[in-house]
Structure 1
Amino acid sequence: RFMVKDSGIGIPPELQSGLFQPFTQADSSTTRKYGGTGLGLAISKRLAEGMGGKIGVESSEGRGATFWVTLPVSVGTEDQSSTWPDARLRMVMLAGDTPENRKLWGMYFENWKIPYAAADNFSDLQKRIGELGAEGIAPDAVLLFDPIEDISVLRAGQILCEAGYHAICCLSGPDAELKASLETKGISVLQKPLKQSSLLDMLMNQKTVSGISARESSGQQEALPRILLAEDNGVNQRVAVHMLGKLGYVVDVVNNGEEAVEALRRENYGMVFMDCQMPVMDGYQATAAIRHLESEGHTPIIAMTANAMEGDREKCIRAGMDDYISKPLEIARLQEVLFQWGRISRGKKILSRESAEVIDLSHLEGIFGDEREVIADLLELFMDSTLNLRDRIWSEMSEQAQGCAHLLHELKGTAANVGAHSLENLARNMELAAAEQDWEGMKELASELDFEVRLAAEFVKKYTGETNAGF
């Protein structure tokens, strides 16, 4: 039995029976108050029942909700502990979050054979660090879950960094400004939902109290990802290549955005450093083209610009870039960016839109196997949801309404569920623009939304037609 609890407004009994039906909404006021049920719960119900299990909810108005899933599984016989590398960390501490989540992360640390200690809040954390210090034990890392009840996470991380501790902040939602502030202070950042692999990789690659990374101490060094540098200035090229080379990276150089797009068609890169102002095609246009052509996965793109002005970072993020670094480059900041993004690259070879699948069928086949009829049914549900969301997004956008970001967040999630990666990336960029009330930026992206939805509709129509015809 798996349970997910929240402490929100709760769900009245008369609405609970329709929660797991696709797109069930009692009325417009219900949608505004509780949100549309969307496609996620309907997919979850089908998955649970397909595995021989059940799904349900327990809730009362004003008291939050508990969603649960039961699955018939047997106890494994193979010892899984050997599948995790030996992290060789002396101690990790975590503070904030709910008691249930702290307990869950404690189980993960035990599985990784990493000693840990948990604290309810920052005052408790400081007390625990002091107690451990009296025993000669210093934590190799401190995990901070935002929000922490008695202090801002930025201030907490700053205090820890100034004291010489490695602080890792787990943000509960997209906040580009907070993320930038944290990283400027030398605080590592992860985003919820937090993956075990992302946290473990960050812990394994950090410097321990001995000055050697945990991965190096366990003898498991990995080849560093190949980097693409898009920069038209020869001096800047030499400086960047020299710095990256000193850090052990192999760098390929191109002179403009058009060449960057072509290079990514030919090769897989772990990361791209992209100058924003280049001839032929600038960095913003090149990034948009790359995101449009990415068939699967996500290659981190780091903006480089000499214009360190307010709003530049947000402009880069809206264009589809992942982070921002100012020129002239500084080795410390370069290391931070490489540390943050260099291990999460999921770069895959870029295909043309003509040859790339609009929806990644391998994603759905990995869930449903060769059940084409089930996949076709799910895709039709997805398309109904997407068309409904698109119309509501246009309506909210025309009124510059606050609900637009919520709708785009829902679209991003449903697109991710079926493997519609281009639509997912576009919805993510539009969500950021909506959250910042950048309606001009929204208008620029809106035409792409219609294009992506039309491509998805054509794909679904073709797939369902072939399925019904018996192919």
Structure 2
Amino acid sequence: LESAKMELENLPVDLEGLLAETADVFAFRAAEKNLELNFHVDSALPRMFMGDFQRVKQILVNLIGNAIKFTEQGEILVLGRHVTRTTANGDTPYIHFSVRDTGIGIPPDKLGQLFQAFTQVDATTTRKYGGTGLGLAISRKLCRMMGGEVSVVSEAGRGSDFFFELPLRVAPDDAGKEEEYGWLETVQGKSALYFCKHPTAQQLIGQYLSQWHMNAQVANTVAEIPARLQGVSLLIVDVTEQPVEDVQAAFQYAAACDIATVALVPLSGARNRERFAGLPGARYTRLSKPVKRRETLGTIAELMRARSARPVPVPQLSMPAPALAQQPQPAPPSYNPATYAAPMPPTQAAVPMVTPSMPIRQEAVAPMQAFQPAVAAMSTAPANAGSAFMSAANAPVEPVLPVYGAQIQPPPSPQSSIPAAAFAEMVPPPPPEPTWQVPAESAAQGSRSAAAGHDAQISQSTTRALAKSASANGPSFGDSYPARILLVEDQPLNQKISSMLLQRLGYGQIDIANNGQEAVEMVSQRAYEIVFMDLQMPVMGGVDATREIRGNFLLKNQPAIIAMTGHALTGVRESCREAGMNDFLTKPVSLDDFRRVIPKCLNDSALTPMAP
């Protein structure tokens, strides 16, 4: 990357699948912090585009990871939108990716230094959250290699919006559309009842159901669901923080009425899976949050095509059960895919991007200031204004203008940062699906697998490491090069992999420190020959820990310190060398890496610095 010799792939990429897979990486962490994580793709975008799946995902991983790290309450919303930019070649379509959070925010005078390696807002942030700023620097380089740019607008104490844009090159997508048309034919015209406590998730589900031509109604509480099931074909319930008894009662009534039921369950532990396992014979399934449009549509269609295996008894509760015989549904209109693929209305350019190296310009802020009174008026809407959202969503919408900087409104509640009507501006009503012209060079590559190389990097790294470790002849190496080793790493999975590889080499006892501060204390209490040091850690990072160890003149013998990081930029190596590290390993680390560096460290003086 640093030498600009990285080769980029040019393969068909499923845009919605890309965001879904990336969001899934953080679903468990968001649920643990009680954060609402959602994503949405503008229906004006094609489903497939030509690009490098892994590189775009790497940028999104960095941005979403930062959003979750620096957000203590509220939500993270990931958006994909279609915008048009005026370039030397005329109007050019772009994909605008946006990661919005309700976190700690960034002061205006600190925005310009965000994308510099080893730079954070202040020392307090580094001590509390860890990190070095490398992720943003790498994201910027990757984005520029792909013909785009990454930037941010933020307000301290309110939240941030990190966004980037990439040129849109459409890929062929015939098979995917045909499958979706079949699902739409099954669900259109049906009645649905849904409940979500969080306004953003509620509005997203309502948007999807309306887009699928379903007659959707929102429930204000789970307890009222049994009384509203008559004539309903589909029930969707987000079980997050809901009374288990109320949810189970609603599911029992739905099963008794043979209603297709979907439970939206956060990835916060096995208890949720056990509590909401469903009833035998019921048309019921669970979907993990965040909500995924295509997955949800396919699941609903399959549930509606199915028939219950056997009758489910009506529960004996104080509330009278709804009639088992549903009201006859009106015959849905014949579904015409052509209406779903109507030409896209013209899209106006969005607000000019603010580059990291310059302050926010007045001409970029002025359009948002003109737009702000409408947002301020809408911010008084109640948190659960589902019907208000639907009416606002169906009204004409101006071009999407992000509410940035000083224009960010205070959230109406700790769980909701986005007022219902304001959300309609961010997620406009879906226009008819556009008919895209696929470039000839893109069509020629259509036969190549869209999923090629799309496995998660951590899975690939783990697989490679374990495969190599299985064939290693470990003990003889450890006997030849005995050493007491300290591994400094904050990620449990990386701790496990590195320890396993070192044990395969014959090092039976590996001490582990979870951050740089622990490493400094352990080195002062026990003699180590080698310290393998991660760079990005909470409390104290690897570079600062190395400086502390090298500055401790009470140590009789200084250990060799080896940097371990996923970033190989020249600036990173230089910082490690200046801090006093002896060598540098790039993750994922292999057995061959350990075989190479351990003898070198033991044979050379520990104080010999690494080569520039």
- Which category describes the TM-score, using the shorter chain as reference length? 0.3 to 0.5
Alignment TM-score, normalising by the size of structure 1:
0.39
Alignment TM-score, normalising by the size of structure 2:
0.31
Q: Which has the higher contact order (CA 8 A, sep 6+)?
A: 2
Larger Rg over CA atoms: 2
